[in-house]
Amino acid sequence: MTCGALGIVVGVANSLTNNDAVASVAYFAATALLALALVVSAISNKPDNRIWPMLLLIAGSSIAGQIFDARFADQSSQQAIAEAFFLLLQILLAIGLTYISARRLGNDPLSGVVDGVIVGLGAWFLIWVGLLKPIIDTTNQTILVNALQGATLAASAVVFFTLATLFFGDSLRTPAVWLVAGAITFTLTGDVLFAAIDAGRIDISSNHALSAYVASLFFAAAAFLHPSIRSLTSKSIERQQRPLLGRLIVTTSALTLPVVVLAVSDPIDASDRTVRAVSIAVLTIAVTARVVQAVVSNARIQRQLIASAQTDALTGLPSRSLMLTHVNNSLLGAYDEGRQPSVLFIDVDRFKNINDSLGHQAGDDVLVAVAQRLRNALPSHCVVGRISGDEFVVLDGETRSPSEAMLIADAILDSFHEPLSLRQGDVFVSASIGVATYQPTVSGNADDLLRHADTAMYRAKDAGRNCVAVFDESMLERVTQRLAVETALYRALERRELRLVHQPIVDIEDGEVVGFEALMRWQRDDGSMISPAEFIPIAEETGTIVPIGAWALLEALTHLRTWITEGICRSDATMSVNVSPRQLHDPQFVSVVAEALRRSRVAPDQLWLEVTESVMIAEPEQALNALNRLCDIGVRVAIDDFGTGYSSLSLLQKFPIQRLKIDRSFVNGVADDLSARSLVRTIIAMGDSLGLDMVAEGVESVRQLQTLAELRCAKAQGYLISHPVPPDSMGSTVAALDQFGSWSRLRGPRNNS
């Protein structure tokens, strides 16, 4: 780039001095620089070997033309030789540029070539009117010289065409491309200036025209010195955005300037009139062809965009928008014809596990295989679409009852009994299917039908997957209710609709209250109560459990500190708080726990975090890391509802667990059911052997409590002891429980046998 700028400076200096000796030195220096650049480039940059012969011929033609130019040797024979070399130079430039342009046109070569033709024809018309016709009409040069000059100028129009085509290509413009284009542009400028001088259009010194050649040589040297010269003749990376504005300006100028010239000037003679007419006719044909090509290309692109928008790129199936169109079309006239078009919403079960374990490429292969499996399993009149992710939709517009739709659903389930053959090996998959049939009073349009099938599919998921669920109106009511709960839950915390109640945990041996479990309640502004079993799963799914859980943790610990300060409970009493998997997998959860302990001034070992066994199954490494960090700060961990999940001794050994809470389902039968009692005895014995604290949940009768005492269970909680109570009622509750006589009568004598 610096070398090119230096060429402009030298050219300007040469024009300002306007001295023949200076001009000769400048031209010689530029030629020597180009020769040196070629040697350096051949050693270091190693450009395409095919351009060297062409380049040497171009350089030789230029130098020979300057030597034999009659301006330096005033003989007409030498001038003819010079013009012959200049003509050869233009032909070689056109050939070289054609080769380079052909390698860099990209995916849309036709439009670039046609636009180049328009530019070349426009340049030819201006050259003919402004330069070539006056040169032909001059009588101060021989016919041969005039003919050679005319042919050279005509070849210059071809060079304009190839240069424009190079710039209209889709490939990225490297510095070498810009520098080569600059060199050719200055060469054409010199040719035009010399031709204008010969035609009598301008009266300037030939040194000014020579300055353009000097700048051209400098630019050529800069192009070969730049490393990007290696890729000059290579297929380059395509540009993301084409310079449409610049391209439009150039082509429009090439079209309008000849029209303007044609309007303001009259033909000189018949030959001029003929050339003008033919040139404008050819230019008109080129422009018409370009317009037709643009219209056809735009129509093709529009069709491709529509197809891309309506077709899934991976499977080739219709997308959601096209499926909605198909469903809408199937509903037209369905009622009058007695048809009940059916939509089956299909979701691949546990598809995320396939992506996580085998990789996303395997996941894509599964989706393609599922799409093919669906095509093979369904009647030809059914339409299959993929609307998102691992969700597929099947439309059968010919069904006349829900039972026919169920037959199709069963056929789909049967088709997945065989494994899918992938590059990674055989994979078994199952699917959950929701079915919705057209009912004008319920599913009045395509959106409703698709949404109802989606709702039924989630019911199939809840039912255990790999099954079919048929939509009914009760599902819609439940979905609407769930959405209302989900929406209200986002504001429940800031509206202070959430509150905590606490259930005491007692030592079975002496009946003393040793701890509490915090339980969440939600009472809405209208006074209605929302069950935790209803809103906790929604909070878990939506992620609102994270801020709600952080609030509950601080609130529970604050209550414990208040009770200890007021003497309601012993100073080492503990607080148990349930923790969801979503909280445990939150990177900030450990910091949240530490902050709650600090603000409430409760010792870490007085906090029990209760987790379910499922936490240790889903993403066990992340859960283990979080639990270990919590134990490092002194917090203790309990397994809630032990025995109802994935109970495993290996989990108890791997995870930092200090307490087991025996689920109420075992405690319910411990007094009367020998098998339940044996199971509880085994759990207690296992916990004792591992040094774990044992708490029985859901104690509701004296006999259950007595049996737990006989089995040497350490602690208990349940309605027999106390219902969950608000924080301000805990004082009276604990006082009642601490009455030794009343408690001992409930517990009865302990059997030490």
Q: Is residue 314 part of a domain?
A: no
CATH number at residue 634: 3.20.20.450
Among the three residues 471, 502, 521, which one is the final residue of a domain in this structure? 471
Average pLDDT over residues 711-723: 93
In-domain check, residue 155: yes
Q: 521 or 355: which carries more pLDDT confidence?
A: 521
pLDDT category at 751 given cuts 50, 70, 90 is very low
169 three-state secondary structure: coil
Do 521 and 658 belong to one domain?
Answer: yes
Residue 740 in this model has a pLDDT that exceeds 60:
no
Distance, CA of 650 to CA of 624 (rounded, Å): 13
Clarify whether residues 231 and 376 are in a common domain. no
Bridge partner residues of 345 (DSSP): 393, 434
Provide mean pLDDT across the span 339-354.
Answer: 88
Long-range contacts of 41-46 (CB under 8 A, 24+ apart): 41/224, 41/225, 41/229, 45/224, 45/225, 45/226, 45/227, 45/229, 45/230, 46/230
Q: Which two tokens stand for residue 645?
A: 């999940």
Q: Does 750 score more than 70 pLDDT?
A: no
Could you tell me which of 107, 93, 113 has the C-alpha nearest to residue 167? 113
Q: pLDDT tens across 583-605, in order?
A: 888 889 999 999 999 999 999 99
pLDDT exceeds cutoff 60 at 261? yes
Task: Name the residue with higher pLDDT: 196 or 577.
Answer: 577
d(CA 672, CA 677): 8
- Distances in Å between the alpha carbon of 475 and those of 229, 264, 380, 405, 562? 69, 80, 31, 18, 45
Number of domains in the chain: 3
Q: Are residues 266 and 334 in the same domain?
A: no
Domain that holds residue 600: 484-742
Contact 194, 187 (CB under 8 A): no
- Is residue 217 located within the same domain as residue 360? no
Point out the least confidently predicted range of 129-143, 284-298, 616-630: 129-143
CA distance 472 to 456: 8
Would you state the pLDDT for residue 344? 93
Q: Is 212 inside a domain boundary?
A: yes
The model's pLDDT over 110-131, given as tens digits with 9 standing for 90+, comes to: 777 888 788 888 888 777 777 7
Residue 254 has pLDDT above 90, yes or no: no
d(CA 419, CA 262): 76
- The single residue listed with the structure tokens 């109420």 is 664
343 vs 171, which has greater pLDDT?
Answer: 343
Residue 382: inside a domain: yes
Phi first, then psi, for residue 567 (nearest 5°) are 75, 15
Q: Is 617's pLDDT higher than 50? A: yes
Q: Which of 56-60, 328-332, 604-608, 684-688 has the highest mean pLDDT?
A: 604-608
Examine the domain organization and report whether 74 and 158 are in the same domain: yes
Shared domain for 708 and 658, answered yes or no, is: yes
Instruction: Examine the domain organization and report whether 598 and 627 are in the same domain.
Output: yes
Of 703 and 117, the one with more pLDDT? 703
The whole-angstrom separation of Cα 198 and Cα 146 is: 10
What digits encode the pLDDT tens for the residues 215-239?
A: 877 777 787 777 877 766 666 666 6
Give the pLDDT score at 70.
46
Lowest mean pLDDT among 109-113, 195-199, 420-424, 497-501: 195-199
524 phi/psi in degrees, rounded to 5: -75, 170
How many beta carbons lie within 10 A of that of residue 540, not counting itself? 17
What φ, ψ does residue 121 adopt, rounded to 5°?
-65, -40
Domain's final residue, options 471, 502, 529:
471
154 and 268 part of one domain: yes
Rg (CA), the chain: 44
SS3 519: strand
The secondary structure of 128-158 as a DSSP string is: IIIIIHHHHH-SSS-HHHHHHHHHHHHHHHH
Whether residues 72 and 133 share a domain: the answer is yes
Neighbour count for residue 86 (Cβ, 10 Å): 27
537 plus 462 within the same structural domain: no
pLDDT for 659 beyond 70: yes
Q: Are residues 65 and 192 in the same domain?
A: yes
73-118 pLDDT tens trace: 455 566 677 777 777 777 777 777 777 777 666 666 777 788 878 8
Q: What is the DSSP letter of 503?
A: E
Residue 352 is predicted with a pLDDT of: 81
Per-residue pLDDT, averaged over 636-661, amounts to 77
Q: Is residue 315 part of a domain?
A: no
Let me know if residue 752 belongs to a domain.
Answer: no
Within 132-235, residue ranges assigned H as helices are 133-137, 143-168, 175-199, 206-225
**Residue 451 belongs to domain with CATH number:** 3.30.70.270
With respect to residue 700, please indicate whether it lies within any of the assigned structural domains: yes
What is residue 742's predicted lDDT score, i.e. its pLDDT? 46
**Cα separation, 204 vs 196, whole angstroms:** 9
Lowest mean pLDDT among 494-498, 673-677, 713-717, 746-750: 746-750
Residues of the chain above pLDDT 90, percent: 23
End-to-end CA distance of the chain: 100
Whether residue 158 has pLDDT greater than 50: yes
State whether 520 and 592 are in the same domain.
Answer: yes
Hey, which residues does 318 pair with through a beta bridge? 311
Beta strand pairing call for 659-662 and 342-348: unpaired
pLDDT of res. 644: 60
Instruction: Name which of 574, 577, 580, 653 is nearest 623 in CA terms.
Output: 580
Distance of CA 417 to the CA centre of its chain: 34
Q: Please tell me the distance from the alpha carbon of residue 437 to that of residue 139, in angstroms, as a whole number.
A: 93
| H helical segments located in 18-129 | 20-44, 51-68, 76-104, 109-127
Strands annotated E in 438-593: 468-470, 498-507, 513-523, 529-530, 574-578
Overall average pLDDT of the 511-519 stretch? 93
Q: Which of 284, 708, 471, 527 is nearest to 721 (CA)?
A: 708
Q: Is residue 603 part of a domain?
A: yes
Quote the mean pLDDT of the chain.
Answer: 81
Q: What is the pLDDT of residues 530-564, one digit of tens each?
A: 888 888 888 888 888 999 999 999 999 999 999 99
Please say which residue of 441, 471, 501 terminates a domain.
471
